[in-house]
């Protein structure tokens, strides 16, 4: 059990040291939504955002690390769930394939988007009803937020603008893919039921 906890902590620690994880999604995706014709202005904007969010990003990841090291056994985090892991990786593929369609008119692929939305809501409901699963649920909230800068925000922008630039789509796909990988990675590092020993 201890090795499983250590593996989970190392996974989060890796995100902290490489500035990845939830904060990295926010930081990278925010740049995609600040178009400007002045390259110098864009550089200053990115630098300003980086400066303002760097401390809070590191603090947020550090807080997760402290949280993980402070709990005992599996008392405050859910155990590994094969269904959740499988659905996350499967939905990643579906989401990225749907995003590829965004260079076309939204109306031509509305059915695909609705199907993806339904499947995302199903996994969200599943995750919401798992005990001690707050961290994973927060990650899903960020991905699905229609006012955010990940998949939910991407779909909303596609709806509003009808079609999106191919370069923008490919860059957003990288960020969304990373977000799904973070959820799958967190799940894969959780304690498996078979590793739990009872006295």
**Tens of pLDDT along 74-98?**
446 789 999 999 999 999 999 999 9
Judged against a pLDDT cut of 50, whether residue 20 lies above it is answered with: no
Bigger pLDDT: 56 vs 163: 163
Judged against a pLDDT cut of 50, whether residue 195 lies above it is answered with: yes
State the pLDDT at residue 28.
44
The dihedral through the CA atoms of 18, 188, 89, 151 has a sign that is negative
* Range(s) of the domain holding residue 92: 2-195
Judged against a pLDDT cut of 90, whether residue 12 lies above it is answered with: no
Say how far apart CA 180 and CA 89 lie, in whole Å: 7
Bigger pLDDT: 66 vs 146: 146
Instruction: Give the mean model confidence (pLDDT) for residues 102-130.
Output: 97
Per cent of the chain over pLDDT 90 is 54
Q: What count of Cα atoms within 13 Å lies in the side-chain half-sphere of residue 133?
A: 20
Say how far apart CA 63 and CA 138 lie, in whole Å: 14
Could you read off the pLDDT of 21-40 as tens digits, one per residue? 454 445 444 444 444 444 44
Q: What is the pTM for the complete model shown?
A: 0.67
Say how far apart CA 137 and CA 156 lie, in whole Å: 21
Per cent of the chain over pLDDT 70 is 58
Instruction: Report the number of distinct structural domains present in the chain.
Output: 1
């Amino acid at each position: 059990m201890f090795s499983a906890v250590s593996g989970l902590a190392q996974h989060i620690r890796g995100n902290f040291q490489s500035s990845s994880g939830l904060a990295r999604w926010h930081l990278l995706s925010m740049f995609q939504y600040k178009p400007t014709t002045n390259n110098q202005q864009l550089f200053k904007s990115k630098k300003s955002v980086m400066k303002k969010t760097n401390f809070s990003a590191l603090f947020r990841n550090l807080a997760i690390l402290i949280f993980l090291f402070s709990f005992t056994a599996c008392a405050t985090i859910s155990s590994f769930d094969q269904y959740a892991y499988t659905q996350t990786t499967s939905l990643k593929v579906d989401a990225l394939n749907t995003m590829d369609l965004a260079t076309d008119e939204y109306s031509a692929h509305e059915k695909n988007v609705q199907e993806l939305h339904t499947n995302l809501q199903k996994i969200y409901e599943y995750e919401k009803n798992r005990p001690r699963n707050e961290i994973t649920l927060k990650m899903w909230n960020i991905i699905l937020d229609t006012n955010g800068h990940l998949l939910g925000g991407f779909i909303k922008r596609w709806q509003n603008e009808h079609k999106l630039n191919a370069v923008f789509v490919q860059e957003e796909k990288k960020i969304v893919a990373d977000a799904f990988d973070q959820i799958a990675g967190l799940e894969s590092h959780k304690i498996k039921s078979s590793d739990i020993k009872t006295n």
